[in-house]
Chain A
Amino acid sequence: MSSLGKLVGRGLAVAGIGAAGVVGYGVYSPVYANDEVLHPPAYAWEHIGPFQKFDARAIRRGYEVYKNVCSSCHSMKFLHYRNLVGVAFTEDEAKILAADTEVEDGPNDEGEMFTRPGRLSDKFPDPYANEEAARYANNGALPPDLSCVVKAREAKEDYIFALLTGYRDPPDGVVVREGLHYNPYFTGGGIAMARALYDGGVDYDDGTPATTSQMAKDVSVFLTWASNPEHDVKKQWGSHMLMTLAVFTPFIIWFKRFRFSPYKYKRLVFRDQW
């Protein structure tokens, strides 16, 4: 009975049980027929995969979509202009973007509040002064803050893309109440937000044709970055960590067995006498 054989055998058994658990979880998670929502498909994002970073060009285009289309109703209160530096814009470009906005600051020496152009340290501007103003302007519905929206939805960026491109006429017999719009990917079918993305809605700086799906894809990647800014660094450090483990693990296993070998070959015999 080779001890190395025993070790390999035990390792394979553990791996087999683990694999069965993963497959079971993936294949057998339930989808109920009375779910009032259509589950979005899994799209082939460019940042999926163990060695994939975000596409910085998509983040930049997505920021343009957010700025021109979404920011009139949706805030992103947890993002600052400095967060964009080194990700999609250089420092000077981010300063230009910030300077386009007006920020209330103060009080000054006379005790008055004043407005000044934005700086890198300022947050993204809030379209409404408070929640009541937001609800009043949107038929009682509050447009959610988008800083962490991708993390906050179960289907993550697939949901955002499907929702934005999913507006269609309701099927026969489905009635959506006045003020709501039909979207099968929104629970219940009726969403307060009207369709926002139409072909040609945005003029991209790099000349990409702005179709609905292109804009939806770019803004989804931008929002995914906003929710997970650590994504690229985390994955890359993960690679370093796994590589180091792969190098050290066989040595550690061998070294432990080397140190324990005297005790493994020792045999204690109890004699039948006092």
Chain B
Amino acid sequence: MFQRELTNPQKFRNAVYNIFMKRTSTYVTSLILAGFVGMNVMNRTVDGIWASRNAGKTFEDIHKTFPHLEPEDDD
């Protein structure tokens, strides 16, 4: 049977299917790895937004303005 040549999106989808989804073992593995990567990216993005919008207000920055409390010396 003769067939038209595949378009680029079709080629891409075929490649993704053949590499990741043909066997359940590779599918599940790639899902878990994508989960790790995705969670990492999302955590870094969200925490980055929070850090930039709260710069200077957090507890980590407190000793830039406050001196360390010293115990009072009782003589």
Contact = CB atoms under 8 A, between A and B. Distances in A.
Contacts of B59: 56, 86-88
Contacts of A206: 65-67
Contacts of A247: 38, 42
Interface string B12-32: 000000000000000000000
A11 B65 CA distance: 49
A57 B57 contact: yes
A116 B67 CA distance: 27
Interface in B1-50: 38, 42-43, 45-47, 49-50
B54 A243 contact: no
B46 A239 contact: yes
Interface residues of A, number: 28
Nearest to A55: B57
A96 B57 contact: no
A243 B57 contact: no
Interface residues of B, number: 23
Nearest to B61: A56
Given A53-B50, A236-B46, A240-B46, A97 B69 contact: yes
A172 interface: no
B42 A96 contact: no
B67 A205 contact: yes
A51 B49 contact: yes
Given A46-B57, A88-B59, A57 B66 contact: yes
Contacts of A96: 69-71
B69 A89 contact: yes
Interface string A186-202: 00000000000000000
Contacts of A97: 69
A244 interface: yes
A167 interface: no
Given A236-B46, A236-B50, A243-B45, A60 B62 contact: yes
Given A51-B49, A247-B42, 8 more contacts: A51-B50, A51-B53, A51-B54, A53-B54, A53-B58, A88-B62, A93-B68, A243-B45
11 contacts: A52-B54, A60-B62, A87-B59, A89-B69, A96-B70, A236-B46, A239-B46, A239-B50, A240-B42, A240-B43, A247-B38
